[in-house]
């Protein structure tokens, strides 16, 4: 019986899970939408109901006796307050929710310049808001709370989810300045390395899913870090580009890169770092001009081996943070060629140039030189765009082993099972 590790991804639209062999091959996968359990995607009971349904579907396809470890990833910056039994005390604040309290915003503004805790959407701002609630025992991140359903522990997080709440990943501790910001430190969870075992299954969780009691519960990560790990990128200089509604790039680095001006922070993964940034260019900018069907049609007519000679900077609206920090930067999409295919080609060239500049910017700030790229997201399947990007970046384009965040989290579960001697 080959051992298996389970990775769970709980996001804004639903729950996904994969069962993974030690060689990183996927034995089974399952997914359940949150809408099945009500319209309120902020309801933690709906999160857990979706996870429970996902796992029951997953376990129906594998030998559950082979499961050795479980890990969870969640949306970065989503927090909720709980009592001593782990029961939510209020509706969670999601990753993009803003805290409007002036006193809290002033306190968060005192964070060191390189901290990821700045801003109205930061985890720290939300923790400061929640700590006022009567009966509060802890403030947890989304992944922490789901993991607690398996372990019974509602007092532990991981280094990646804790970053936006002010955790110092270099010193590996909650820093003293958080106290000065007014945070009650006893409400913050202990922080574990992603991929390290934090507990075993409770009897209740083991009984619910028919799993062995010695299954390890392993510290997880954020959805973004999990998606990077899923691709198989592991070496310094490995980059992952997500071609979705926006353009997001991440690179594995041997040192942390912090440049808040560009929205760049670094997540710690063992002794390595994952640094990256997000541009406002991408699919949203393209969608203002062409439908998806039209993009597919026009892409087939593009000669990717030649250049249009146009210097576009496609944006859906004015404003850019990375790789250019300019809130007033306007889209540059003129002159327009007569041919729609050439117009699309010029936009794809422009986005590819922004991608190349992004990796160059990371290198200027201390990250390794880009040596390879793996691509995920809807744009990764566009052959013409891929060829244009290949010319602009000038590095090896490697296939992503998976584009599922749950697969990256399963890799962490495998790591924890190995460290615990369960594999």
CATH fold of 4-225+405-419, please? Nucleotidyltransferase; domain 5 (3.30.420)
pLDDT of residue 375: 97
Kindly give the confidence (pLDDT) of every residue in the chain, 423 residues in length, as a single tens digit, with 9 standing for 90 and above. Answer: 799 999 999 988 899 999 999 999 999 999 999 999 987 889 999 999 999 999 999 999 999 999 999 999 999 999 999 999 999 999 999 999 999 999 999 999 999 999 999 999 999 999 999 999 999 999 999 999 999 999 999 999 999 999 999 999 999 999 999 999 999 999 999 999 999 999 999 999 999 999 999 999 999 999 999 999 999 999 999 999 999 999 999 999 999 999 988 989 999 998 999 999 999 999 999 999 999 999 999 999 999 999 999 999 999 999 999 999 999 999 999 999 999 999 999 999 999 999 999 999 999 999 999 999 999 999 999 999 999 999 999 999 999 999 999 999 999 999 999 999 999
User: What is the rounded CA–CA span in Å between residue 165 and residue 404?
Assistant: 25
Partners of 222 in the β-ladder:
74
Helices (H) and strands (E) in the chain, counts: 12, 16
Strand partners, 396: 372
pLDDT of residue 12: 85
Give me the pLDDT at residue 1, please.
79
Quote the pLDDT of residue 394.
97
Of 83, 280, 271, the residue nearest 194 (C-alpha)? 271
Residues 6+ apart with CB under 8 A from 330: 315, 318
The hierarchical CATH code for the domain 235-398 is 3.30.420.40
Task: Determine how many CB atoms are found less than 10 A away from the CB of residue 257.
Answer: 23
Which residues on neighbouring strands pair with residue 174, listed in sequence order? none
Paired strand residues for 274? 252, 267
* Helix H or strand E encompassing 14: strand 14-20
pLDDT of residue 40: 80
In this prediction the pTM is 0.93
Would you kindly state where each structural domain of the chain is located, as residue ranges?
Answer: 4-225+405-419, 235-398
């Amino acid at each position: 019986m080959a051992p298996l590790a389970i990775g769970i991804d709980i996001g804004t639209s639903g729950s996904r899970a994969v069962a993974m062999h030690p060689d990183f091959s996927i034995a089974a996968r399952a997914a359940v939408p949150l809408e099945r359990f009500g319209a309120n995607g902020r309801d933690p009971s709906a999160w857990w109901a979706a996870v429970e349904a996902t796992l029951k579907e997953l376990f129906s396809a594998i030998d559950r006796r082979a499961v050795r470890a479980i890990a969870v990833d969640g949306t970065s910056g989503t927090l909720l307050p709980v009592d001593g039994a782990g029961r939510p005390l209020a509706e969670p604040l999601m990753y993009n929710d803003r805290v409007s309290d002036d006193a809290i915003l002033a306190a968060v503004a005192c964070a060191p310049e390189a901290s990821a805790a700045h801003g109205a959407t930061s985890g720290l701002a939300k923790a400061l808001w929640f700590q006022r609630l009567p009966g509060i025992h802890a403030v947890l991140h989304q992944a922490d709370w789901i993991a607690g359903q398996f372990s019974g522990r509602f007092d532990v997080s991981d280094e990646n989810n804790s970053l936006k709440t002010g955790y110092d990943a270099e010193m590996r501790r909650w820093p003293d300045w958080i106290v000065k910001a007014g945070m009650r430190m006893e409400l913050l969870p202990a922080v574990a390395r992603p991929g390290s075992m934090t507990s075993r299954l409770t009897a209740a969780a083991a009984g619910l899913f028919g799993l062995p009691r010695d299954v390890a519960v392993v510290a997880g990560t954020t959805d973004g870090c999990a998606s990077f790990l899923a691709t198989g990128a592991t070496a310094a200089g490995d980059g992952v580009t997500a071609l979705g509604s926006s353009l997001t790039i991440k690179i594995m680095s041997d040192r942390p890169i912090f440049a808040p001006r560009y929205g760049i922070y670094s997540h710690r993964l063992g002794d390595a770092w994952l640094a990256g940034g997000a541009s406002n260019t991408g699919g949203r900018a393209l969608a203002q001009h062409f439908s998806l069907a039209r993009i597919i049609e026009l892409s087939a007519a593009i000669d990717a081996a030649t250049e249009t000679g146009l210097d576009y900077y496609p944006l859906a609206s004015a404003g850019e943070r990375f790789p250019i920090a300019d809130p007033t930067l306007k889209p540059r999409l003129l002159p327009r060629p007569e041919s729609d295919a050439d117009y699309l080609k010029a936009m794809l060239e422009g986005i590819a140039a922004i991608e190349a500049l992004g990796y160059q910017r990371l290198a200027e700030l201390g990250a390794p030189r880009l040596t390879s790229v793996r691509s995920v997201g809807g744009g990764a399947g566009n052959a013409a765009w891929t060829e244009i990007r290949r010319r602009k970046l000038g590095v090896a384009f490697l296939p992503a082993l998976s584009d599922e965040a749950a697969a990256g989290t399963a890799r962490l579960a495998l790591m924890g099972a190995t460290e615990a001697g369960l594999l």
